[in-house]
Chains A and B, each alone.
Chain A
Amino acid sequence: MAFDQEAVLRRFAQAAEDAHAELTELDQRSGDGDFGDNLRGGLRDAVLRFEKGDGGVSAFGALGEVFLDEVGGTSGPLLGLLFTEIAHALDGTGTDAVAAFGEGAKAGLAAIQRVGEAQVGDRTLVDALAPAVEAVPQGFAAAARAAQEGADRTADLRARRGRASYVGERVKGEPDPGAVGIALFFRTVAEAAGQR
């Protein structure tokens, strides 16, 4: 099945514009309030870099570079690892796109966990990413549902990693903004693939 990277990038960028206020408010309760800005800004820059690259860089390649090099906070570069791994997997020839995307996302999850040392249940973006990666073989719609459910579950978790760990019980009841960002990403992937 074809996988339109550019469509994902553009939909994701639009989704980050739409969710900016919500993400900012969530992050103000648990972190330093910059996640909405970082995600939206990173996606705006990634679109620009992709357009300027004029075919020389893939949409996911541009996403990876911008989030690793330019986006602030800790979650920005961690997302960059995910996008870069997916870009590498999609660049490989001969595999079908869903499988390649799944391999890349799996490698991205592994890299994020090696770097950030977070497990499922620590109230981080891993809580949305891990179930989504597991569900990709059932299709993008299943992965999007799994990511959303994972993000929703973070509302009941106490943070053990990341900046939210400093405020402890006070963030319970609201989902982790990084996990919400991951759910947003998988939703746009499913939409771009026409699976929703």
Chain B
Amino acid sequence: MSLPFHPADGDPVPPALRGFARAHADLVELHEKPAHLVARHRAPARRVGLVSGGGSGHEPLHAGFLGRGMLDAVAPGKVFASPHNKQVLEASRKAAGPAGVIHVVKNYTGDRINFGIAAERLRLEGIEVRRVLVDDDLATESDETATGRRGTGATVVVEKLLGAAADTGLGLDELAALGAEFAAASRSLAVASRAQTSMHTGRPAFDLEAGELEYGVGIHGERAQKTIDRPGTEELVDRMLDELVAGLPEGPEEVLAVVNGMGGTTLLELYGLHDLVAAGLERRGLTLAGELVGTFVPALDMAGFSLTLTWLQPEWKAWWAAPAVTPAFPRTVEEVA
């Protein structure tokens, strides 16, 4: 048992938001009632505000990606819970550009409904809204349910590409169409060797035996559909890449890869995994044209990682390489070729 170091008064989100806003006061501004954060700077050419949000516990998502080149405002919910429509509404009012606002929404019922209600309210106020839905999780691909794939690791890819595209001055419908293309060209798969720690009990949210691996795990501590005997790391990465490539629609041969930590995984592991990913893609005849390694979309302190692959169209490369001045995206200057 190992309780996390949260302040004693219950909800850990408000103090963390205050600490975050203090630490990054040059980049973001916090509003507490209702809770939302707004970027202080945006590219002069940007005409459409980009807003995202969702449950907390996935830091640095989404507030870490506020700033020039990425998001304009975010609405953080409680841990693993959707934000209230009022938070999304306030964030969107502040973020909206002359051509409107785009909501980047991970595919969960609560997020869809609350962002949807906010969008209706914005329309009544005369603000144009479009939604970009991120639904990349291959493990939840099913013909039997209407809910569709969950939104997970590809969120950071969509937010980066869409942010750079928005900075070129594109309009609302063009950006919404592009965002849908970014999401459609992305698939992710996550595994975990230990569940995240429950904030209340200090124990893992679900139990795994030594030698077991949760395969296709989500980012909210929900169990995967499969628990497998843990293979060697090389074999595991190979299997995940096979499934990701097979699960993606047809695409170009250039690919962007994200090796994402689930919260309790070291950079020593993540970089080692990335080395395997790069070699595995090369063996499959694919060119690695963009890469990102680190913890970007975790599930609290879960031990595990996710792989995201995005087919990279030639014209998207400049958007991936463009600088983003945010608290958490690891590129503040143009990527050097």
Q: Is the interface of A mostly helix, strand, loop or mixed?
A: helix
**A115 contacts B113, CB within 8 Å?**
yes
Whether A84 contacts B117 by the Cβ 8 Å rule is no
A115 and B120 contacting across the interface, CB-CB below 8 Å: yes
Residues of B within 8 Å of A77, CB to CB, are: 85, 113-114, 117
Determine whether the beta carbon of A68 is less than 8 Å from that of B85: yes
Residue B94 at the chain A interface, CB threshold 8 Å: no
Which residues of B90-116 are within 8 A (CB) of A? Answer: 110, 112-114, 116
Query: Which A residues are CB-close (under 8 A) to B113?
Result: 74, 77-78, 115-116
Q: Which of B117, B121, B146 has the most CB of A within 10 A?
A: B117
How many chain B residues touch A (CB < 8 A): the figure is 13
The size bracket of the interface on A is 10 to 19
- Chain A residues lying within 8 Å of B119, measured Cβ to Cβ, are 115
Shortest Cβ gap from A112 to chain B (Å):
9
Q: Are B86 and A81 in contact (CB under 8 A)?
A: no
A169 located at the interface, meaning its Cβ lies under 8 Å from any Cβ of chain B in the complex: no
A84 touches B116 (CB 8 A): no
Hey, which chain B residues are within 8 Å of A80, CB to CB? 117
For residue A92, give the distance in angstroms from its CB to the closest CB of chain B.
13
Q: What residues on B are CB-neighbors of A69 within 8 Å?
A: 86
Q: Which residue of chain B lies nearest to A74 when distances are taken between CB atoms in the complex?
A: B113
* Binary flags per residue of B106-137, CB closer than 8 Å to A gives 1, else 0: 00001011101101110010000000000000
Taken together as a complex, chains A and B put the C-alpha atoms of A74 and B86 apart, in Å, by 13
Tell me how far the C-beta of A70 lies from the nearest C-beta in chain B, rounded to whole angstroms: 9
B121 near A115: Cβ-Cβ < 8 Å: no
List the interface of chain B (C-beta within 8 A of A).
85-86, 110, 112-114, 116-117, 119-121, 124, 146
A-B interface, 9 closest residue pairs, ranked by CB to CB distance from nearest: A115-B116, A111-B120, A77-B117, A69-B86, A81-B120, A77-B85, A115-B117, A74-B113, A115-B113
16 more contacts with CB within 8 A, not counting A77-B113, A81-B121, are: A68-B117, A68-B121, A74-B110, A74-B113, A77-B85, A77-B114, A80-B117, A84-B124, A85-B124, A88-B124, A111-B120, A114-B116, A115-B113, A116-B113, A116-B116, A160-B146
